[in-house]
Every structure is written in C-alpha cells, then in structure tokens.
Amino acid sequence: MNRIATTLADGRELIYFDDVTKDREPAKDTRDLPHVEHASTARFDVLTGEWVTLAAHRMNRTFLPPADHCPLCPTREGREPTEIPDPSYDVVVFENRFPSLARSVPDTEPYVDDTPLWPQRPANGRCEVVCFTSDHDSSFTQLPPSRVRTVIDVWADRTAELSALPGVAEVFPFENRGTEIGVTLEHPHGQIYAYPFLAPRSAQLLAQARAHHQRTGRELLADVLAAEQAAGTRVLVRGEHWTAFVPAAARWPIEAHLVPQRQAPDFAALDDAERAELAVLYHDLLQRFTAFFGEEPPYIAAWHQAPVGEGRELTRMYLQLFSLRRAPGKLKYLAGSESGAGAWIGDTTPEAIADRLREVGPA
C-alpha cells in the first residue's frame, strides 16, 4: 500500500492510500474555503452517566447533493473542485470539514449554568472521512478483495495515529450505508471518530468485561466466542482467525458479529494473516446481507475497538454489522420501548436469522 499525505486549502489533512505503489504528486486544492469555527462541547447527562456532544456548527453541512456535485468524488475537468483535488484515487482519508469533534475547539466553562450537576468540556477529538473508492455508483460490497484489504490497512493506519493523539480514549471506525440510516452523502465512504471519552456502548462493554474478569479471571468476549462456537446454532462462518455469528441477544432485525480468535485490541494489532482473512470474511458477511434481502440493504458497520487506555486488556475489537430493515421495503422503527425506555424488542429470533444467513451464503 502506498501512502501520501497532503493538505487541503483550509489546512485540513488529506491522505492518499493507493492499492500499490504509485508515483503520485498530489494536486493542489484550488478552492477558496472559508474557515469553519468548531464550537463542539460535550455535556454530561447526570441521568444516564453519558457524555452528549453538541456540535452547533453542523446545521448547514452538505445534505444529499446530486451526483455531479458530490464532494467525495475526484476533481475532474468540467466540474467544480471537490474535497479530493486529484482526478483519481483508490482510498482517501481526510479531516471532516464539519466535524463533531475537533482538535481546535476553544475552552469552555466547566459547568453549564455554573451548576456542578452538568459538567461540560470541549469536545476535543478528530473526525475523518474514508472514501473507499472513486466510483460514486459503487459500494463496499462491490469492492474487489484487494481493495477491501487496502481499506483494512487504512483503518489500521488511522487507528494507530489517532490513538496516539493526546486525550483520545477510543477510536471508532464505522460505515453508514443507505438514506434510511441517515446518510447525507451517497458516495461509498465511512468515517472514523476519535472520542475524548468512551462511547456509551464501549463503557457498558468495559463494565461488563471488568465484572466478568473479577468473577472468573477470564476475558468476556473470549468466553462469548467460545460459547457461540460450542453451540454452533448461530455461527455463520468460522475461519482460522475470525468467527462470524448472530449474537444470542441480537437487537436488530438482522445483525452479525465478527470476532477475532485472539485478544487483538484494534486494527493496528492485527497481523498480516488476520487482516487477509478479515478481508474475505467481512466481504462474505456483506454479501450474505445482500442475499438476505435480494438487494443491498441499509446497514451500519460498527468496528468496536478496545479503549486506548485503562481497560484495554479486558476486551478485544469486533465488528457489529446490522440493518434496521426487517423485510424488503419494511423498516424496524425504534419507537417508545426502544427509544424511550431503552428496552429492545426483537421481531424474530437470532437462530432464525442465522439459519437464513447460512442458507444464502456461498455453497
């Protein structure tokens, strides 16, 4: 993989990752970009114990532009310059122009309304965009295996670099696909958030993992993986380094986890063999989701990684892949019980979903 870094007109970093080494001289960003004032703050919700990020500068960000005005396409003759100045690319990473978290957030008062009930802090962190291909009409499912491997190496590169930033507690790569999910740019892309705190799901997992370790002396996800493998009823595919399964308490209409055999905390810790197999099995999972519905569904691919600091040894990275579509043309709405009470209700059983995902997989 070839890696070349440059900057955009407003000083944001942009990095080209080529599948193979190329003699590339990055094109100059000729746009006259206004400076975006980052005013993100994080406020503590005393009722839940969670940090909530408020990013007021994002109200006017780009929303579903036509394909010929897509800011993630390469800059080509006859069209307006985009976020990527070059006329072609393999994979590109750049700092989000309208980030939820940023390194240049000004200081803020320690409490909202000067009341200790509501601590607040600058939302220091970093948000990056990862463009998987220059082809606007493609998708991750359609990428060749060599490109999937390049993207995995990119996630490893960014995880290592972002984890080293001062104050970063967690690095979270993810992909939102489909307007039903809330995608505002249809070009095939994902994002990476470097949080200054543990996201609620990560904090919950760490608390469960710590309690499990205190009771048993073992790692929680290792025991979960061993139990799923022993039962076999929800296992989709088992490789040498990774196992994919529908979790026993799946929340979403269709959900699968992809977990490494060993305690690999993040992408950067994966060796060559683990990355190679991950490229194959992740692609396999996406194809199964497509076959399940007969078309590529809206989905979220959430790559949960171990914390950067305290508790890192208690857990490991894993993929949570899920769709809110429960049948062709039908969505699972998060209404009163899920959104209001936080109590999930499934519309079928994980075993039934696993049976179907095995059925539609490769023979």
Count the alpha carbons within 13 Å of 224 in the hemisphere toward its beta carbon.
Answer: 23
Q: Which of 189, 212, 283, 304 is catalytic?
A: 189
DSSP string, 180-228: TTT-S--SSEEEEEEESS--HHHHHHHHHHHHHHHHHSS-HHHHHHHHH
Distance CA 149, CA 17 (A): 12
Active site (annotated) includes residue 241: no
- For 90, 133, 137, 212, 328, the CA distances from 188, given in Å and listed in that order, are 12, 7, 8, 39, 22
CA gap 216, 141 in Å, rounded: 40
Helices (H), the chain: 145-163, 200-216, 220-231, 272-293, 350-359
Cβ-Cβ contacts under 8 Å for 40 (sequence gap 6 or more): 53, 54, 55, 56, 57, 99, 100, 101, 102, 105, 122, 123
Detail the DSSP E strand segments found in 1-40. 2-7, 13-18
Place of tokens 């590529």: 296
Q: Which residues are catalytic?
A: 189
